[in-house]
Each structure stands twice: as structure tokens, then as C-alpha cells.
Amino acid sequence: MKIILASGNKGKIKEIKEYCMESEVLAYSDIIEPFEIVEDGLTYQENALIKAQTIYDKLKDREENFVVLADDSGISVPALGNTPGIYSARYAGEGASDKDNLYKLIDTLKEKGIKRTPAYYTAAMAIVSEKGSFTVHGWMHGDVLAQARGEGGFGYDPMFIPEGYEETLGDLDKEVKQAFSHRTKALKLAKLVLEGL
């Protein structure tokens, strides 16, 4: 069964493809012209379902034996009222780049005089198939720093230190993130759903 990803985020696509090596995984933009999906849900789960359902509806008349998998994710900082949360992708404004968002969060921490504080990533994954829709979640806890270190990962990774480590995901080998990230945890559950379809 083909897994079609409802995402244009290169970092996510890379991580999901690496995790699902034994399956045929492709981005929806490999099949149709990419377009903007309005993510107006109030939770990660709602937004993941919106993305997966939108792409499923676009592809159902031209593809066979496929499911659509969508990931909606973000980072929350309790010291900042759990922001940016579901607004992580547009924290620095509509159309902001990953770098813009990273430095906006660093600047916000600096403005509050915070050098290091707990934070966590959340990933909601939605699977839409001819047999119905399913959602799963995964989390990764750690700290964020008011500085960026390293070039690895994507998004907020250069400021995020996972629990049990002293380096950021920007500095750590990608295998560390792959072992227990929010996305990996959600993907483990998503695999169980896929096996049951």
C-alpha cells in the first residue's frame, strides 16, 4: 500500500521517509501541483485531519491502494503560556521561514530574560484511507535555549535539548532524534494503524 504524505515540509518528509523505509512513501507534490491547505483547526489533531482529508479527496479518483498520512506538529514552551504550539509554523508571521520562527522564539526568550526553560514537541498524525480516518500522537520533552546551536534537524531543533542530553538536536546525530522524537513515537502508532487496515 502506497503512503502519500500531505506535507510540503522537507524536514518532515525526510524524517517520515527514513522511518518508513520498507514502504512506498511519496509526497503529494510528487503527484499533483502543491497548493495551500487552510489549517484552521484548533488542535494539532484537527489540522492533521484537515490536511490528510484534503489530499485524500484530491487523489481518490486517480490513485488506488493508497492512504494519506499527515503530520501536524509544533513546539510548546510552558514559560510562554505553551506558545507557539499549533502556530509554530507561522510564529514569525504568515509565510515565515523555519529560521525566522527559530529566531523569533529565541528573541522572545531573551526578552523575558530566559536562558533555558522546559519545552516539548507534539506531533499529531492523521491517516485517511478508504476504510476511515485515524489519528495518533507523539511527544518529546526537553529544554529550549535562548540560542541556536548546530545545523542538524530542521525548524526549532538548533535550540532544543532533548531530555537526558546536553546538546541540541542541531548538534546531536540524527539517529538520536530518530530514536525517540515526537514524530517517531507517532509513526510507531501510525504503523500499527496501517497494519490493521
Cβ-proximal residue to ligand IMP, closest one: 155
What is the size of the binding site for ligand IMP (CB under 6 A)?
17
Interface residue with ligand IMP, options 56, 120, 121, 134 (CB under 6 A): 121
Packing angle of the helix pair 10-19, 182-196 (nearest 10 deg): 60
Contact 124, 178 (CB under 8 A): no
Helices then strands (H, E): number in the chain?
5, 7
Shortest spacing between CB 153 and ligand IMP, in angstroms: 5
72 in active site: yes
Closest to 124 in 3D by CA, of 52, 180, 60: 52
Give yes or no for a contact between 57 and 83, defined as CB atoms under 8 angstroms apart: no
Stretch that binds ligand IMP, among 52-60, 69-77, 130-138, 188-196 (CB under 6 A): 69-77
Q: Which of 30, 57, 61, 72 is catalytic?
A: 72
The C-alpha cell of 115 is what? Answer: 536562558
Among 45, 54, 76, 101, which residue interacts with ligand IMP (rule: CB under 6 A)?
A: 101
Please tell me the distance from the alpha carbon of residue 116 to that of residue 197, in angstroms, as a whole number: 43
CB of 61 to ligand IMP, least distance (A): 26
> Do 122 and 45 form a contact (C-beta atoms < 8 A)?
no
- Shortest separation between residue 64's beta carbon and ligand IMP, angstroms: 27
**Residue 29 contacts residue 35 (beta carbons within 8 Å):** no
Per-position x/- string for 8-37, each x denoting binding to ligand IMP as judged by CB under 6 A, each - no binding: -x----------------------------
With H, G, I as helix, E, B as strand and everything else as coil, classify residue 123: strand
Question: For ligand IMP, which stretch binds (CB under 6 A), given 27-35, 61-69, 108-116, 152-160?
Answer: 152-160
Chain contacts with ligand IMP (rule: CB under 6 A): 9, 39, 72-74, 88-89, 98, 101, 121, 153-157, 181, 183
